[in-house]
């Protein structure tokens, strides 16, 4: 079956401004890549690493702190970390209440000795470190990397009311939401968790061990912190380091793969193994096109919760599919041929259209957008393969299983 493929991206090779495809062997399937800033990824050693501008990020997955063998292509929108000192909690701009900070006390998730230790004093009081009024009140993702060092808990609450957020247990990786805050935790290994809160806020407060006013410490035990981030948006993105001012990571753009030799206007299959960054109700497209939206084959995360949509040219004959969690890794194949359109997901035929005669013409590009540099695809890409003929049902089942 794979010998029928004419273009295949399995993220492995890259250079400045280019992402290599496995097929075709002459380089016509390679993607142009741009991002006008540096960005971070998790490398093969499980460490957070800064990548130069215009360089694709092959990001290695973490499962319970263990690093996966195969990377995915990470594509993200532009975001700004408004915290000016993301790794320097000892500076005066971090407000402190009955908290002592020891700078560069431990090895951080990037492998350098830049993690700070916050220690609550022995005074019976509220112990917190905070950044307030950093951003206008809106939905934001607040995050910080934390590791127990004598104390196993911390809380992140919104900067204004100090009610909405989450309480995090750094010994077992569990958390409890507070108010309207929505928490989550990602384990990076070696005791380090990225603690994340989604809430409406203007800043944030980090309490150690809790926000209770009668808490007290022993003057020695504490929590290690590194990599604080506050970004406008409904989900957290990759870490954006700062040192003295807010920093913006530019959006990733990956497109212009292929030529007319790789694509068949009358029939074919577009296959992707992908994962959404969030179920955020935005349109994110992968398309074969001619540089416009007039002639195209589209695979889309749609602007409705956990909905997939595939179509040729316009959306009047589209197939839509629900019932899948798009933040899980999905294997999706879209077959197009006159009166024989189908979408397969994870080994099952999920939808068909046997009455459409719409076909594209002049296909010569494969882009992570809808064909005109809009509806850009943001997510994680493990595979992207094109077949220039309509595969059989048994082949599609095997491909997506």
- 44 and 87 in a single domain? The answer is no
Q: b or e along 74-104 (b: 16 or more beta carbons within 10 Å of the residue's beta carbon)?
A: bbbbebbbbbbbbbbbbeeebebebbbbbee
CA–CA dist 293, 305 (Å, integer): 24
So what's the pLDDT on residue 213?
A: 78
So what's the pLDDT on residue 160?
A: 86
Q: Say how many domains are in the chain.
A: 2
**SS3 assignment, position 396:** helix
pLDDT above 90 for 217: no
Confidence of residue 350 (pLDDT cuts 50, 70, 90): very high
So what's the pLDDT on residue 320?
A: 97
Domain endpoint, select from 249, 282, 314? 249
- 67 and 114 in a single domain? The answer is no
What distances in angstroms separate CA 387 from CA 8, 208, 269, 391, one per listed residue? Answer: 9, 55, 5, 8
Residue among 165, 202, 200 nearest 184 (CA): 165
**What is the pLDDT averaged over residues 195-218?**
92
CA–CA dist 40, 169 (Å, integer): 26
- 32 and 112 in a single domain? The answer is no
Domain endpoint, select from 216, 249, 282? 249
Confidence of residue 6 (pLDDT cuts 50, 70, 90): very high
Omega before residue 209 within 30° of 0, cis? yes
- 271 and 334 in a single domain? The answer is yes
CATH number at residue 313: 2.60.120.200
- 63 and 202 in a single domain? The answer is no
Model confidence pTM above 0.75: yes
**SS3 assignment, position 105:** strand
- 272 and 166 in a single domain? The answer is no
CATH number at residue 130: 2.60.120
Omega before residue 24 within 30° of 0, cis? yes
Query: In which domain, by residue range, is 120 found?
Result: 81-249
**Structure confidence by residue, pLDDT tens digits, 123-133:** 999 999 999 98
Domain endpoint, select from 228, 249, 270? 249
Confidence of residue 198 (pLDDT cuts 50, 70, 90): very high
**What is the pLDDT averaged over residues 65-69?**
92
DSSP state of 397: H
């Amino acid at each position: 079956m794979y010998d029928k493929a004419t273009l295949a991206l399995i993220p492995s090779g890259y250079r400045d401004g280019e992402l290599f495809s496995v097929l075709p062997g002459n380089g016509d399937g390679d993607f142009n890549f741009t991002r006008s800033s540096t960005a971070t990824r998790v490398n093969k050693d499980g460490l957070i690493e800064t990548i130069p501008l215009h360089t694709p990020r092959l990001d290695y997955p973490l499962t319970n702190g263990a690093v996966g063998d195969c990377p995915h292509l990470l594509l993200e929108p532009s975001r700004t970390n408004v915290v000016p000192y993301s790794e320097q909690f000892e500076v005066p701009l971090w407000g402190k209440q009955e908290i002592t900070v020891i700078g560069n006390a431990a090895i951080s998730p990037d492998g350098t000795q830049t993690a700070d230790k916050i220690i609550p004093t022995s005074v019976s009081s509220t112990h917190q470190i905070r950044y307030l009024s950093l951003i206008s009140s809106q939905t934001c993702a607040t995050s910080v990397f934390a590791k127990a060092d004598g104390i196993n808990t911390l809380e992140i609450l919104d900067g204004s009311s100090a009610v909405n957020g989450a309480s995090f247990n750094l010994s077992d990786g569990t958390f409890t939401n507070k108010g309207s805050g929505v928490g989550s935790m990602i384990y990076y290994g070696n005791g380090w968790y990225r603690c994340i809160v989604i809430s409406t806020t203007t800043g944030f407060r980090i309490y150690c061990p809790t926000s209770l006013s009668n808490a007290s410490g022993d003057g020695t035990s504490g929590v290690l912190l590194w990599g604080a981030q506050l970004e406008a948006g409904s989900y957290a993105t990759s870490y954006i380091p700062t040192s003295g001012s807010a920093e913006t990571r530019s959006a990733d753009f990956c497109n212009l793969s292929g030529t007319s030799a790789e694509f068949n206007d009358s029939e074919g299959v577009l296959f992707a193994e992908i994962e959404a960054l969030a179920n955020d109700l935005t349109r994110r497209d992968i398309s074969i096109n001619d540089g416009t939206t007039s002639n195209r084959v589209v695979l889309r995360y749609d602007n409705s919760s956990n909905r997939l949509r595939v179509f040729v040219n316009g959306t009047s004959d589209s197939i839509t599919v629900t019932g899948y969690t798009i933040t899980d890794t999905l294997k999706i194949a879209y077959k197009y041929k006159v009166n024989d359109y189908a979408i397969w997901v994870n080994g099952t035929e999920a939808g068909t259209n046997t009455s459409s005669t719409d076909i594209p013409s002049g296909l010569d590009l494969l882009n992570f957008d809808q064909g005109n540099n809009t509806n850009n695809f943001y997510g994680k890409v493990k595979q992207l393969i094109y077949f220039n003929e309509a595969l059989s049902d048994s082949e599609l089942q095997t491909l997506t299983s």
